[in-house]
Each structure stands twice: as structure tokens, then as C-alpha cells.
């Protein structure tokens, strides 16, 4: 591949997906894009690059972006974020949202779905605590291919062995030959949408928790700042932002601060000024029900709550 061709692909991928490729990644580009070229009956990468610029090449452009996107994921990945969700974030929401009895969770760059399904299984496990609450979980990704896999909830033996406790495998999956499928009641708890984080996502509305793990590491500095500032405007004052273990908001935005004693979890600074271009969100009213379990008291002050979309899973 010529240097000029590789430079074109780097620019194309950064513009379309935010992915920043270093010069030493050329081998990776070639190995991932050659199958795409063959699938589109192109002779090689040079012809693929030429075709990307032609009208009507939308399908090829999408396939190139999807081929270069890292889709690594597994159940209860890194464990700590899910323990923080179960032990701190969830009890806080049960108390702070008890008037409306609903909450929304966004898993950005959800890949093949293990993260949203892991959260769903914990909610099922804690059914006695969350009875009467409605949880809406949205999983988004730039790749149509991985979203389709997420929707079906079918995983290989290797995939279910990565981080998934055997008790949950037997409880929430059914075996289909050498494959395992997530139970219908768990799949029904998650909504899937195709979304590019570089584009406007204000239409998704406000979320109480945003998981945006292991995706910012692929972006340049300015793109990270932009995405974080826009996520800031999707969160209420007591909302949670969860990043990957190798990610941080330090040096990127003054809007967030680390949540005390929770690695990888951030909250809005109490004295922060909202980034420019903030958006207000409203939520249509939803029905309420009575809980028989007294939620754990939150560790941070609560704020006035808003109503939520009527979709989601009720326990």
C-alpha cells in the first residue's frame, strides 16, 4: 500500500468513525480490508481506495468502517464496573428515583452486547430490590453487524466462558448445539440502536448512567473532549459516567470529577459550568407502582427528577 493511500484511509476513518491509526498499524489495515475488497469484487486495496471516493459507494464505506472497528467485549468485563453498578449506582437510583420509579442506562459502543446483558442479569438477580422499577437500557454501536449479533444474543462456548459465572449461564441462557442464546426475558430488557458517537446523540434523551468504556482510547484529544462534553449534557446532576480502566476525564473536561472510591466512575462537578450548547431534556410521564423494599440510602445528595419514556423493563 502506498503512503498516500494509507494517509487517505487514516483520514477517511478518522472522519467517519473517530478512529485514529498510527503509522505502524498499516499491517492491521491490510489484513482487515483485503476481505472487504474481495467481498466487493475489487482487485486489491488500491482499487478499494479509489472506489471509496466514487458516488454510490456507501455500502463499501460502511464495510470499511465496520472492518476497522474493534469489537472486543465479554460478559462482566473488568468486573469492577459491574460491582460498582450493583453496590453503589443501583442503590442510589432506587432511592433518588423512587418518586418516578424509573431509570435509564446507556451502553455506548456496546459491541456484541455483553455489557448491556451483564447489567440486565444483575437487575434480574436483584429483582427483590428493584421490584416496581422500570429500567430502560439502550445499547448503541456504529456497526450494524455487531448490533445484529447483540439482538439475537447468540454466543459461542468461548464467548460465554469469558467472565460469565456458570450459575448465570445455566440460569439465563439456553443451549443450541454448540452455541448459547440469552433468555428472551433478558434480551427484552435491552433496546439496540445504530449510532456513531461522532454524530449528534441528543435525541436519545437523558440517562441516569452512561457506560462509555474502552472507546475513547481510539479517539484523538479533541474528539474525546467533544464526546465527553456531549455526554455531560445527557446526564442529570446526580448521574454517573463509567469509563474504561485506561480512560480518564483528566485534562479533557472540567465538567466531571472522579466519584469517591469508585475506580472508573465519574460524576458532574457540583460547581461545574455546563459546556457550551447544552440541551434540556424532558421525559413523558410513566406509571408508578409500589415497592415493598426500602432502597439503600444514597451517598450523594439527590436532585429533582424528571419523568421517563414509557418503554423499558419493569420488575
State the catalytic residues.
Answer: 32, 141
**Are 11 and 20 in contact, with CB atoms under 8 Å apart?**
no
Q: Which of 236, 213, 215 is nearest to 305 (CA)?
A: 236
155: Cβ contacts below 8 Å, ≥ 6 apart: 112, 114, 179, 180, 181, 182
Rounded Cα distance, 235 and 275, in Å = 12
Give the C-alpha distances (Å, rounded to integers) separating 20 from 11, 53, 59.
Answer: 8, 20, 22
Q: Which of 228, 205, 259 is nearest to 89 (CA)?
A: 259
Rounded Cα distance, 152 and 147, in Å = 9
**Are 302 and 103 in contact, with CB atoms under 8 Å apart?**
no
Residue 286 grid cell: 410513566
Rounded Cα distance, 100 and 222, in Å = 37
Q: Give the per-residue SS3 of 209-267.
A: EEEECCCHHHCCHHHHHHHHHHHHCCCCCCCEEEECCCCCCCCCCCCEEECCCCCCEEE
Amino acid at each position: 500500500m502506498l503512503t498516500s493511500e494509507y494517509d487517505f484511509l487514516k483520514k477517511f476513518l478518522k472522519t467517519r468513525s473517530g478512529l485514529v491509526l498510527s503509522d505502524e498499524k498499516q499491517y492491521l489495515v491490510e489484513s482487515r480490508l483485503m476481505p472487504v475488497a474481495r467481498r466487493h469484487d475489487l482487485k486489491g486495496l488500491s482499487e478499494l481506495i479509489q472506489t471509496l471516493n466514487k458516488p454510490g459507494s456507501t455500502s463499501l464505506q460502511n464495510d470499511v468502517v465496520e472492518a476497522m472497528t474493534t469489537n472486543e467485549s465479554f460478559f462482566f468485563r473488568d468486573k469492577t464496573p459491574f460491582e460498582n453498578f450493583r453496590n453503589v449506582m443501583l442503590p442510589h437510583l432506587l432511592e433518588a428515583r423512587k418518586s418516578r420509579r424509573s431509570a435509564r442506562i446507556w451502553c455506548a459502543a456496546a459491541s456484541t452486547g455483553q455489557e448491556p446483558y451483564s447489567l440486565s442479569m444483575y437487575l434480574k438477580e436483584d429483582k427483590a430490590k428493584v421490584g416496581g422499577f422500570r429500567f430502560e437500557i439502550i445499547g448503541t454501536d456504529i456497526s450494524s453487524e455487531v448490533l445484529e449479533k447483540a439482538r439475537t444474543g447468540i454466543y459461542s462456548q468461548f464467548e460465554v466462558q469469558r467472565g460469565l459465572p456458570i450459575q448465570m449461564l445455566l440460569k439465563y441462557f439456553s443451549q443450541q448445539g454448540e452455541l448459547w442464546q440469552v433468555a428472551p426475558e433478558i434480551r427484552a430488557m435491552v433496546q439496540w440502536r445504530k449510532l456513531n458517537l461522532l454524530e449528534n446523540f441528543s435525541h436519545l434523551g437523558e440517562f441516569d448512567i452512561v457506560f462509555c468504556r474502552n472507546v475513547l482510547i481510539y479517539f484523538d484529544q479533541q474528539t474525546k473532549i467533544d464526546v465527553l462534553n456531549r455526554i455531560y449534557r445527557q446526564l442529570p446532576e446526580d448521574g454517573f459516567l463509567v469509563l474504561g480502566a485506561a480512560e480518564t476525564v483528566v485534562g479533557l473536561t472540567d465538567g466531571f470529577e472522579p466519584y469517591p472510591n469508585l475506580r472508573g466512575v465519574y460524576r458532574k462537578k457540583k460547581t461545574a459550568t455546563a459546556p457550551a450548547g447544552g440541551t434540556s431534556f424532558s421525559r413523558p410521564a410513566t406509571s408508578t407502582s409500589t415497592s415493598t423494599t426500602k432502597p439503600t440510602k444514597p451517598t450523594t445528595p439527590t436532585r429533582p427528577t424528571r419523568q421517563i419514556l414509557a418503554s423499558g423493563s419493569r420488575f
